Amino acid sequence: MADPRETLVRAENVRKWFGPLEVLKGVSLQVAKGEVLSIIGPSGSGKSTFLRCINQLETYQDGRIFVGDDLIGYDLQGERLVPLPQRRVVEQRRNIGMVFQQFNLFWHMTVLENIIEAPMLVLGQRRDQAVETAMGLLRRVGLAEKANAYPMKLSGGQQQRAAIARALAMKPDLMLFDEPTSALDPETTGEVLNVIADLAESGMTMIVVTHEMAFARRVSDRVVLMDNGKVDCEADPETFFRDQPSARLKEFLATIH
Amino acid sequence: MGFDWTFFWSRLTDPGDLYLIALGRTVVMAVLAMALGLVIGVVVGFGRLSRFLVVRAVCGFYIWLIRGIPVLVLLVFFFSGLAAAGFFRFSDVVVFGFTLSASFQAAVIGLAIHEGAYMAEIVRNGIQAVQRGQIEAAKSLGMGTFQLTRRIILPQATRVIVPPLGNDFNHLLKTTSLASVIGVQEIFQLTESMSATTFKTFELLIVLSITYLLLTTIWNVIQGMIETRLRRHERDDGPSGFIEKALFYLRPRVDAALERR
């Protein structure tokens, strides 16, 4: 892609095994600052695993993932990858927000407490400052009146919007979305997709693993098909969905339509 | 023959200083053993989940060993056994003007070691009940191991741990009666010695049973309050008014049916 923008995420030949099973077989991808990349693919294709490698919820065993200047999870000594100490991994995660399929809001805290927790604990923000940011974010995702509710009292769509606000409160450079609407009713899917689309509009760099083709087409700058632990093809959304530049993609799109 | 109502009522309504002191001893013994047992339980419970095999093995051995020995045997072992072999002899200690007798100390430590083994399993279960997604979310927000243990794992595990711990304490309140065997003057021992002099065994045992019932009832209410507070994320509306509250806290709980032992 002829984009003059600076590259934020650079994955080179990333490989990962779960025991003897090779789940990532050399994934290479780049995401520019401000770009929205959607990853689609059949289940078991490694798309979620790849996403989780970017913030080290999973470790990869070979290749490189750079976010900005940071080599994620490793220190490069010559050509050898030396695992970073846990403390450094924890630091690297601060700038990378993640939204999960199951929301994973801390159920023992109110929505507001969920959002201010990490900024206060990890970034050392003062409470009033964290609350101000949090309320701004809650207004942005349309949940200001739910600030003092516990997650169990919210619908799935509301929980996911709160989870997005929680991730944004850390002011990340990059947002990862791991099938953010797969656990939602069709009625509430829309409200979450709108929030994500808004965020895309605002210039946030995002990688979205999704099964929502219409959404991927509407919001993404680029779409990638992952299959069997590899990138099968990538293109801008128009080309991707109209021309369907690979046989595997044609097959995949045919099965889901 | 027959039931001496007058004696029964006078014991029940005016138990006397001796009985109240013994009651205090029972309660303090239970509370101290519980507190100490909880410390042991948390340490051993986390130890069972340690990364290090040696730590896991030592903690597992402790639980296996203690759960296989009757409390009564443990108490006698700590008080008489250790002394008989010349390893350790408990002696009276004065703390803040109160004399803690040797047998009292042995009872507290024996009960705590016994309780600790059970609590360790409860704590381990509570920690393991924390969903992986909660921990992943905390990690993704940049929390370190210590931060997420303190802010996410412990508070969530506590909510799982408290109901069975409460049942344990209920059990412990009654188990303290075994300390009579090593000479702690708690309510059971006092009742025994009073019945030896008055021969009103039946009446005295009923007063004693009522006393234990009173203790467990008070504890039920306290436990209910704690649990309700810990469950505020599930309820918008707590019970209001004294009667309603009391009924709510005294209601049969599902977990009471699961009480072990």
B143–A153 CB contact, under 8 Å: no
B138–A90 CB contact, under 8 Å: no
pLDDT of residue A67: 95
pLDDT (tens digit per residue) in B162-202? 999 999 999 999 999 999 999 888 899 999 998 888 888 88
B137–A55 CB contact, under 8 Å: no
Q: Which residues of A touch B156 (CB under 8 A)?
A: 106-108
Which are the contacts of B62, defined by CB distance < 8 A and separation ≥ 6? B44, B116, B117, B120
Q: Are B140 and A167 in contact (CB under 8 A)?
A: yes
Give the whole-angstrom CA distance, residue B107 versus residue B176.
8
Backbone angles phi, psi at B60, to 5 degrees: -65, -40
Residue positions counted in chain A: 257
B143–A97 CB contact, under 8 Å: no
Residues of chain B contacting A, Cβ within 8 Å: 131, 133-134, 136-145, 147, 151-152, 155-156, 159, 232-234, 236
| pLDDT (average), residues A41-55 | 94
| pLDDT (average), residues B26-50 | 94
Question: Taking every pair of C-alpha atoms in chain B, what is the biggest distance, in angstroms?
Answer: 75
- H and E: helices and strands count for chain A: 9, 12
Please check the confidence at residue A39 and state whether its pLDDT lies above 50. Answer: yes
Cα four-point dihedral sign A239, A240, A244, A246: positive
pLDDT (tens digit per residue) in A148-181? 999 999 999 999 999 999 999 999 999 999 999 9
Fold of domain B17-186+220-260: MetI-like fold (1.10.3720)
The separation between CA B198 and the C-alpha centre of its own chain, rounded to angstroms, equals: 32
Give the whole-angstrom CA distance, residue A134 versus residue A152.
19
| pLDDT (average), residues A123-140 | 96
- Look up residue A69 and give its two tokens: 């200047």
pLDDT (tens digit per residue) in A64-114? 999 999 999 999 888 899 999 999 999 999 999 999 999 999 999 999 999
- pLDDT band at residue B261 using 50, 70 and 90 as cut-offs: very low
Please check the confidence at residue B51 and state whether its pLDDT lies above 60. Answer: yes
A106–B137 CB contact, under 8 Å: yes
| pLDDT (average), residues B65-74 | 94
B141–A102 CB contact, under 8 Å: no
- H and E: helices and strands count for chain B: 12, 2
- pLDDT band at residue A1 using 50, 70 and 90 as cut-offs: very low
pLDDT (tens digit per residue) in A183-217? 998 888 999 999 999 999 999 999 999 999 999 99
Task: Pick the residue from chain A with its C-alpha nearest to B142.
Answer: A94
**Mean pLDDT, all residues of chain B:** 86
For residue B117, give the nearest of B38, B172, B170, B28 by alpha carbon.
B38
Which residues are registered as beta bridge partners of A27? A14
ipTM of predicted assembly, 2 dp = 0.93
Question: What is the percent of chain B with per-residue pLDDT over 90, rounded to a whole number?
Answer: 54
Number of Cβ pairs < 8 A linking chain A and chain B: 72
Backbone angles phi, psi at B45, to 5 degrees: -60, -45
| pLDDT (average), residues B87-91 | 80
Q: Which residues of A touch B232 (CB under 8 A)?
A: 150
| pLDDT (average), residues B16-35 | 92
